[in-house]
Amino acid sequence: MQPLASMATRRGLLLVLVVALCEVSALGRTPLWDGNIMMPTGEGHKGEEGTRWAILIAGSAGYWNYRHQADVCHAYQILKRGGLKDENIIVFMHDDIAYHPENPYPGTIINKPDGPDVYQGVPKDYTGSDVTVSNLYAAILGDKSAIEGGTGKVVDSGPNDHIFIYYSDHGGPGVLGMPNPPNLYADDFVGILKKKAAAGTFKELVIYLEACESGSIFEGLLPEGLNIYVTTASNAVESSWGTYCPGMYPSPPSEYGTCLGDLYSVAWMEDTEKENLKKETLEDQYLIVKSRTSNHNTYRSGSHVMQYGDLKIDVEELERYLGFDPANENVTKPGLSELSPVNSDIVTHVPQREADLVHLKHKFYNAKKGSLREANAASELAKTILHRRHLDDSVRLIGELLFAGEDALQKLGAVRPAGSVVVDDWACLKNMVRIFEASCGPLTQYGMKHMRAFANICNAGINSSRMSLASLEVCKISTSVDLGIWSPVTSGFSA
């Protein structure tokens, strides 16, 4: 045993050391310990950093919409490499592409020319008829009791968690498509986000949204202060763009016959795959994606990538939301790519709403002359074009009846100032769409572009009775061609 005097001396020295450290701290100097090292109950403890969650949604069906499910499958692979667990990644996709008869390599999906298979291992959480708006909302809110079908997986998040939501499909002013009706309306979606925020079940939430007029989902609706940050592929009045399409540069292998990806989507994902996400911030990626999606801000093709919500979040590293791939550990801080010379005659991208026509034309021109495949492709292409004409003419004629003036088209297409909500009465908008479809048939993914017309009918104070009469009058004579029945499962017309 040590002498008592020696033990007392050591205790005295320890007391002197403690006092000295306290004096250094009081003088505002840096203490000699690491302030991040705390007890398990401390604020900085690793166990309090929270969990990463992700919801990935492909809102379409049909082979000509191949790119949307390819986008979502690619996003899953990125998150998986980033360290997110399957239990924390929720996937919504119709799952009719990998084994579609048109797919030249059954059981595989690619997202760029000669790219890797991104389908393997993707969770089948909500597929087929289970890909619905109600299931999506329940998954976001963590409400298992409201789920119908699927795996029942939801975002069971806590106050320290980070959530990433990615959506890819067609859209229109104030609306996003889904493979099963009804579509997703902006007011309902933002309402769900507000409810999630009020519940205090996340620290921060980030949304990447690929769709035409995707900015309209948040303009005038998403307030600051919810700890939600959003980027969209386009502003509130323009199309988003498909890429890696047949006949364009770069083109997919000829046997695919459809666009493999969406421009904004592949921009953020291909950037993510080559960067160190511990160093790249949301703002860094926004600027890189904005440049690529706008063709280096020339807008020779492409759209305006937008930001909404709490922009202060964009200083944070992407690793908080997408995880981290150790393979990129040594990558330096990201930077914008140089503007490369592009022949203006080369078509590199296609507006989203034209991508189905690109597929159908490719299918027709590459079919054996005189074959049944050629005849079917010609019929499908003709029906699609006629259906578009039917929708366009019907909306125009209804507008002329309702506004009874030469400026009817201007009133139908009027755009409110930037930052304004697209419609004042969302219930009216939804009702006008139902009235139109009851007389004129489904809007389909193409017809969503007319949502602004229906919004302006509501904004003009026109009631449902007048809309019903006009729709009945117009659509009983607007087409004499039997187009068949539109199928949301195949995204085409059945006989």
Host domain of residue 371: 367-494
Number of domains in the chain: 2
| 24 occurs within a structural domain | no
Do 164 and 272 lie in a common domain?
yes
Do 320 and 433 lie in a common domain?
no
> Which is more confidently placed, 301 or 308?
308
Return mean pLDDT, the chain. Answer: 87
Do 64 and 142 lie in a common domain?
yes
Q: What is the CATH number of the domain that holds 226?
A: 3.40.50.1460
Among residues 73, 74, 212, 390, which one is catalytic? 212
Ranges assigned E (strand) in 169-203:
171-172, 175-176, 184-185
Average pLDDT over residues 408-421: 95
Instruction: Note the pLDDT tens digit of each residue in 360-403.
Output: 999 999 999 999 999 999 999 999 999 999 999 999 999 999 99
Q: Tell me: pLDDT of 484 over 80.
A: no
Asked if residues 384 and 390 have their Cβ atoms less than 8 Å apart, the reply is no
> Which is more confidently placed, 464 or 9?
464
| 348 occurs within a structural domain | no
Do 294 and 389 lie in a common domain?
no
| 341 occurs within a structural domain | no
Instruction: Note the pLDDT tens digit of each residue in 55-80.
Output: 999 999 999 999 999 999 999 999 99
Rounded CA-CA distance 10/120 in Å is: 64
Instruction: Note the pLDDT tens digit of each residue in 98-155.
Output: 999 999 999 999 999 999 999 999 999 999 999 999 999 999 999 999 999 999 999 9
Domain boundary among 268, 299, 328: 328
Among residues 68, 74, 162, 170, which one is catalytic? 170
Do 99 and 203 lie in a common domain?
yes
Banded pLDDT at 36 (limits 50, 70, 90): very low
| 15 occurs within a structural domain | no
Q: Tell me: pLDDT of 167 over 80.
A: yes
Q: Tell me: pLDDT of 14 over 50.
A: no
Q: What is the CATH number of the domain that holds 431?
A: 1.10.132.130
Do 303 and 413 lie in a common domain?
no
Instruction: Note the pLDDT tens digit of each residue in 326-372.
Output: 999 999 877 666 544 445 557 789 999 999 999 999 999 999 999 99
Cis peptide before 182 (omega within 30 of 0): yes
Average pLDDT over residues 461-473: 97
> Which is more confidently placed, 7 or 176?
176
Do 278 and 385 lie in a common domain?
no
Do 322 and 446 lie in a common domain?
no
The answer to whether residue 359 is catalytic is no
Q: Which residues of 37-61 are buried (b: 16+ CB within 10 A; e: fewer)?
A: eeeeeeeeeeeeebbbbbbbbbbbb
Average pLDDT over residues 47-55: 84
Do 469 and 322 lie in a common domain?
no
Average pLDDT over residues 431-435: 98
Question: Going by C-beta distance under 8 Å and a sequence separation of 6 or more, which residues neighbour residue 350?
Answer: 241, 242, 243, 245, 248, 259, 358
Q: What is the pTM for the complete model shown?
A: 0.87
Do 320 and 405 lie in a common domain?
no
Give me the pLDDT at residue 44, please.
Answer: 31
State the distance between the two ends of the chain, measured CA to CA, in whole angstroms. Answer: 98
Give me the pLDDT at residue 361, please.
Answer: 95
| 34 occurs within a structural domain | no
Rounded CA-CA distance 49/368 in Å is: 60
Do 313 and 371 lie in a common domain?
no
Give me the pLDDT at residue 154, please.
Answer: 98
Percentage of the chain lying above the pLDDT 70 cut: 84
| 346 occurs within a structural domain | no
CA distances from 403 to 277, 369, 412, 430 (A): 53, 48, 9, 20
Poorest-pLDDT segment among 67-81, 227-241, 297-311: 297-311
Give me the pLDDT at residue 48, please.
Answer: 52
Domain boundary among 328, 351, 380: 328
Domain boundary among 328, 353, 385: 328
Cis peptide before 250 (omega within 30 of 0): yes
The answer to whether residue 170 is catalytic is yes
Do 159 and 258 lie in a common domain?
yes
| 71 occurs within a structural domain | yes
> Which is more confidently placed, 421 or 298?
421
Identity at 192, one-letter amino acid code: I
Instruction: Note the pLDDT tens digit of each residue in 263-299.
Output: 999 999 999 999 999 999 999 999 999 999 998 888 8
| 487 occurs within a structural domain | yes
